[in-house]
Structure 1
């Protein structure tokens, strides 16, 4: 039998490169010069067209891998994504930069973009604080690794804000447990505040709430210690006045037990 070959006459050639030659003729598209791509990306930033800028830097980064162009493009790509509000993309790009260029002179800036990308997505304390936790860790890394960086002061300031946010979340949960008489659950949350975030404004309230919780459990020595430590470090605090009044109603006075975890934690970490 002879099979019809209509429309397939080009297969008569033994050279496969000629098959469908008219429809699929190969064309070599030359790369855009690296300097031009970089300038186009910068032009996009100047026009506040951060989406187009990111595309140009992405193209440059892929075109010139393992070169200084890639290093420059990656950092500018991350900046463009950040300015566009594509924070997850910016985080991914900065993490690639940090992995590839661990000794780059502008490594602190990559860390800063990553931290700010987390920071700008921190929700209110009623929601999960994963972003605040990650922002705090990266800001802390900037302060520790690059103390003389131009971004160190702002990182230190925002680290305090994120730590305050994290402490606020623990305080909210602790109050919730306290109101429902889950005193052990409440104590665990207030303990976290003292252990991790005692330099925040929430330390005063955490000590007063510990006084409440321990008094409710009948563990008066810990209640007295919490109040005594609160009075020592924050004598003019309204929280100390509340803790003192609570003890007085129970016929007690603030008295610090040096063997208490409260005394050890607070003195070890330097409150007061």
Structure 2
């Protein structure tokens, strides 16, 4: 799942860097560049002051040297645990790990920051960045979706804790995408059971999509699949009811056209069942808001 990198709120803060870096740091960086064998941590001057380490870390982030940035912030925390830069260094190391796709490391660093600074003005950002780490790891629908659930929970925590923050709206959009992802997984499993003629299991999966993921794009197909299964089972009344809910909420969708044509070919159309409309309404939002849940429970 692609995601544009979220810009750190610290990236443009004034660094107040000294005019000249420590000579020892410059020499070490030059030797490391020439040798090409030293790790990022080896490139950091452990003798530098806290503000120098922090400013060097910010410079490294700006130049996309994320491993070096993380090393600078880590050395700062180890050598100056009570510095005024330490809290920001914890957060920025998490950000540097995130930019390297080191999501477990980033989460660990962000958890540490939140544990030590729960009332920080940057807590909202830390919770959001932590949620993004889980979101980036959402797996394809053919794989286990525990990661999707964890991402959704982390995103919902952002919304609950910081509803007025600039991160809440984006978190809500990603929650919706997670829910659509989970519904897609249910549909994948349901179609497999249907192909295997395990109709009871298929019905359970489709009904879960309809009941638990009503705002997703998968609901129209779930209703149409129920029509197919009920017809295979000879349950004509249930097939009509599923088609009726589909016609009321998604009258222009291709899934209603499929259901309508199936019932018509079997001479099972209800007298009050309308023909499909010409409009294209294939999305996941019911054509008549607020009615869907009542209609579903009324007929089932």
**How high is the TM-score relative to the length of structure 1?**
0.76
Q: Aligned Cα RMSD in Å?
A: 2.9
CA contact (8 A) 1:225 1:254 kept: no
Q: Is 201-210 or 162-171 further displaced after alignment?
A: 162-171
Find the partner of 2:93 among 69, 77, 87.
77
Distance 1:102 1:49, change over 3 A: same
Distance 1:123 1:208, change over 3 A: same
- Give the CA deviation at 1:254: 8.6
Find the partner of 1:218 among 223, 226, 234.
234
Distance 1:254 1:266, change over 3 A: farther
Find the partner of 2:270 among 230, 240, 253.
253
CA contact (8 A) 2:249 2:292 kept: no
Find the partner of 1:98 among 91, 114, 123.
114
Deviations 1:14-59 (A, max 9, x none): xxxxxxxxxxxxxxxx864322221121121122111111112122
Residue 236 in 1 paired to residue 246 in 2? Answer: no
Where does residue 148 of structure 1 map in the other structure? 164
Deviations 1:50-89 (A, max 9, x none): 1111112122233444665332121101100011121121
Q: Distance in 1 between matches of 2:47 and 2:130?
A: 30
- Give the CA deviation at 1:133: 2.2
Deviations 1:80-128 (A, max 9, x none): 0011121121122222223333322222211221222222232322222
CA contact (8 A) 1:164 1:201 kept: yes
Where does residue 37 of structure 2 map in the other structure? none
Where does residue 120 of structure 1 map in the other structure? 136
- Say which SS state the counterpart of residue 85 (structure 2) adopts: helix
Q: Distance in 1 between matches of 2:220 and 2:177?
A: 17
- Give the CA deviation at 1:252: 4.5
Q: Distance in 2 between matches of 1:269 and 1:149?
A: 36
- Give the CA deviation at 1:140: 2.2
Distance 1:69 1:177, change over 3 A: same
Where does residue 191 of structure 2 map in the other structure? 175
Instruction: List runs of 5+ in structure 1 lacking aligned partners.
Output: 1-29, 257-263
Instruction: List runs of 5+ in structure 2 lacking aligned partners.
Output: 1-45, 274-290
- How many residues align? The count is 235
- Say which SS state the counterpart of residue 216 (structure 2) adopts: coil
Where does residue 68 of structure 2 map in the other structure? 52
Deviations 1:130-185 (A, max 9, x none): 32222222222223332221222222222222222221111111111111111111
Q: Distance in 2 between matches of 1:269 and 1:98?
A: 43
Residue 266 in 1 paired to residue 293 in 2? Answer: yes
CA contact (8 A) 1:224 1:254 kept: no
> Would you identify which runs of 4 or more consecutive aligned residues in structure 1 move more than 6 Å?
none
Q: Distance in 2 between matches of 1:182 and 1:71?
A: 56
Residue 204 in 1 paired to residue 220 in 2? Answer: yes
Distance 1:182 1:143, change over 3 A: same
Q: Distance in 2 between matches of 1:197 and 1:81?
A: 34
Q: Distance in 2 between matches of 1:127 and 1:241?
A: 31
**Between structures 1 and 2, the one with greater helix share:** 1
Distance 1:253 1:61, change over 3 A: farther
Q: Distance in 1 between matches of 2:228 and 2:236?
A: 10
